[in-house]
Amino acid sequence: MKKYLRLLPLLVSALTLQAQDTILLEDFEDATLTYTANTTEFSAASGTDFFGRIPPLSVSSGYSVTGFNGDAYFGMMDMNVSGVSLPVTLTFSSIDISGYSDLNFSILLAEDDDGSKQDWDAADYARIEYQIDGGGYQNLLAIEADISSGSNGEPAIDTNFDGVGHGTKITSTFAEFTAAIAGTGSSLDIRISASFQSGDEDLSIDDVKITGTGSGGGGDPVSEEAITLGATPATVDEGSTLAVTLSVPTNVDTDTVFNLTSGGDGSELSIPATATILAGTNSVNFDV
């Protein structure tokens, strides 16, 4: 069995670390909102049909998702009610990206587990698009049922935007999904569109975030000399997972994203694209 010896020095040589600024973060924690919706937030049918922040909305006690940050998130389920035209949309408009490059989008996603099936029909979807300087919306992320026709599929990432979910499944535990935003400019718009027309068809979101690298390398850059990587053990069998800690000397003021670019002698390592040190902390753990 092959062993990676002195794995930590190998990992250090394989990574290019670059801190990014948080340009926008919508955490749904309070009424200071960074988006507009095309319909009023609501909860109906004893909390089984809803669209909005939870709380303040009350939803059915049978609806359960876990792992969101803070005390609130944004949920949507069976929104085909009187007075609501589908798709519903959340639009984050006129985000100032002047001087930024390497733009990145991230979002936490979850979906209530009904036990035996997930109830997404082929017509159900949630799609995230972006446009820069009004140049027209482009695909960013899409969540579709994992079936091309019929009913009661499972929601998953649509990796090629063909209307079918081929990728990672959405579960009842919030997980982060990311996508690079191609291009630069002055103003960025993000649009989230969703259409769920029947019972138990749902999606919840949290921590909608845009990050980028400022023209000066970031508003509060962390020098490469200050970044440390630690791992135990230093030797691991091929195919095994190594827990790595990336740390900086002091707590960061805002969420700080590090691009983990594989290169050099790290071709055999499975390295995540990014690692985020959360505001008020000075380290993050990730696996390779």
- Provide the b/e sequence for 135-165 (b: ≥16 CB within 10 Å): eeeeebbbbbbbbeeeebbbbbbbeeeeebb
Reading the block at residue 105, the tokens are 């989008």
Cross-strand partners of 110: 204
Residues 233-251 pLDDT 10s:
656 566 667 778 888 888 8
**Does residue 269 register a pLDDT over 70?**
no
Which one is predicted more confidently, 12 or 44?
Answer: 44
Q: Indicate the number of domains in the chain.
A: 2
Reading the block at residue 231, the tokens are 């791992």
Question: Domain check: are 259 and 197 in the same one?
Answer: no
Is residue 26 a part of any domain in this protein?
A: no
Question: Domain check: are 281 and 178 in the same one?
Answer: no
Residue 263, φ and ψ in degrees, nearest 5: -170, -170
Q: List CB contacts of 40: < 8 A, sequence separation 6 or more.
A: none
Is residue 230 a part of any domain in this protein?
A: yes
Question: Domain check: are 150 and 237 in the same one?
Answer: no
Question: Domain check: are 150 and 197 in the same one?
Answer: yes
Question: Domain check: are 111 and 237 in the same one?
Answer: no
Task: Label residue 262 by pLDDT band (50, 70, 90).
Answer: low
CATH number at residue 116: 2.60.120.260
Q: Which helix (H) or strand (E) holds 190?
A: strand 187-195
pTM for the whole structure: 0.73
Residue of 287, 288, 212 lying closest to 255 (CA atoms): 212
Question: Domain check: are 92 and 185 in the same one?
Answer: yes
CB-based burial label for 19 (10 Å; 0-12, 13-18, 19+): buried
Cross-strand partners of 3: 237
Give the range of the structural domain holding residue 166, as residue numbers without chain letter.
33-214
Question: Domain check: are 262 and 119 in the same one?
Answer: no
Question: Domain check: are 9 and 82 in the same one?
Answer: no
Is residue 156 a part of any domain in this protein?
A: yes
**Cβ atoms within 10 Å, residue 210:** 24
Residue 19: per-residue pLDDT: 66
Largest CA distance in the chain: 63
Residue of 50, 48, 139, 136 lying closest to 88 (CA atoms): 50
Q: Which of 171, 186, 214 is the last residue of a domain?
A: 214
Q: Which of 178, 195, 214 is the last residue of a domain?
A: 214
Question: Domain check: are 139 and 249 in the same one?
Answer: no
**Cβ atoms within 10 Å, residue 120:** 29
Residue of 185, 284, 182, 288 lying closest to 228 (CA atoms): 284
Is residue 28 a part of any domain in this protein?
A: no
Residues 165-205 pLDDT 10s:
999 999 999 999 999 999 999 999 999 999 998 777 899 99
Question: Domain check: are 183 and 263 in the same one?
Answer: no
Residue 10, φ and ψ in degrees, nearest 5: -65, -45
**Residue 23 CA: distances (Å) to CA of 39, 96, 218, 256:** 26, 8, 11, 11
